Amino acid sequence: MKPGAITRPTPPRVAWAVLGVLIALGGWRWVGGREGPPSPSPAASAPPVMELQADDDGREFHLHAGQWLAVRLPASSAAGYRCWLQDPAAAVLEVEQDPARIGGSHAWMFRSARAGVGALRFECHPELSGEPVRRITFRIRSD
């Protein structure tokens, strides 16, 4: 090759360079087990995530189509106390994340998938006891 000659990058180099620029600019990310473009801003496209706790037991909550619902319930490794999902209100919700341990609690993520009414039910008790200590129910209405 002559000094000062312009060389063209080989196609794999171009592909890697474009991918690097997209990643650096945040224009591409890993989405649900596949690569894809970023989702629109949650603030612009969907209502905020609704968060429920044990104190909300027995109340009714209204969700909009596609809205996320986070449920955080008590758990204690030392005492063996935790909550189990008994009824996922499948008529209106889809379970998006099974319980994740966060501090002294377990957290579930749901998404409003269909219009209707349902009951989201949990039972909380020590793991070695079959007798429920506390039943928690959230009434869910989705449009």
Residue-level pLDDT at 133: 84
Distances (CA, A) of 133 to 22, 98, 99, 127: 51, 21, 19, 11
d(CA 22, CA 26) in angstroms, rounded, equals 6
Residues with Cβ within 8 Å of 128's Cβ and at least 6 positions away in sequence, in order, are 80
d(CA 112, CA 114) in angstroms, rounded, equals 6
Among the listed residues 118, 114, 112, the one whose alpha carbon sits nearest the alpha carbon of residue 67: 112
Token output for 65 = 């189509």
Render each residue's pLDDT in the chain as its tens digit; 143 residues. 555 555 544 444 444 444 343 344 444 344 444 444 445 444 556 679 999 999 999 999 999 999 999 999 999 888 888 899 999 999 999 999 988 887 789 999 999 999 999 999 999 988 887 676 899 999 999 99
